[in-house]
Chains A and B, each alone.
Chain A
Amino acid sequence: GIQVEQSPPDLILQEGANSTLRCNFSDSVNNLQWFHQNPWGQLINLFYIPSGTKQNGRLSATTVATERYSLLYISSSQTTDSGVYFCAVDRGANNLFFGTGTRLTVIP
């Protein structure tokens, strides 16, 4: 399968700070998605972004497919942004490979 590495593994921020999360993957992909798992365990789809840039409020994501990485930007972080952020990729075979996540803690 495709190897997915996320960094950093843990991140602690003061409320209002900005952050960048990175996802590296080992092969070309057709599908890249970012998810947020909140402290209650719910998994929320943030972005479908196999290439290019998208923005949704304070969150944005950029995927550079030719260089096999994606970045998730969180601006003006809030305590509700806390949780684990997962990147997942596939090559169109209906098997998304997940990274092990970045755990974000936002302190008030």
Chain B
Amino acid sequence: GQNIDQPTEMTATEGAIVQINCTYQTSGFNGLFWYQQHAGEAPTFLSYNVLDGLEEKGRFSSFLSRSKGYSYLLLKELQMKDSASYLCAVPPSRDDKIIFGKGTRLHILP
């Protein structure tokens, strides 16, 4: 079967660093997406990794290990506006639907 696992909730402090993990088992692999979803809003694209390694984009970085079926999203210098759900998503192939994890709800404390 196809499965994506993420922690349900995490809490971190403003200014700190947090790492949100995602593991996947899918029939195929054509990259891994991370999306951010604020409460009451639609998801928005954060990153796409198709090769192993770390990709940095400002305060957000995303890591992928294809051999381990593992990714993480690293958020630095946390701000209150980073309080949101973070969704991991995998397309098994370029012509297939994208499978979403249930999301990790991140709470930022002042």
Partners in one complex: no
Mark B residues whose CB is within 8 Å of A. none
Mark A residues whose CB is within 8 Å of B. none
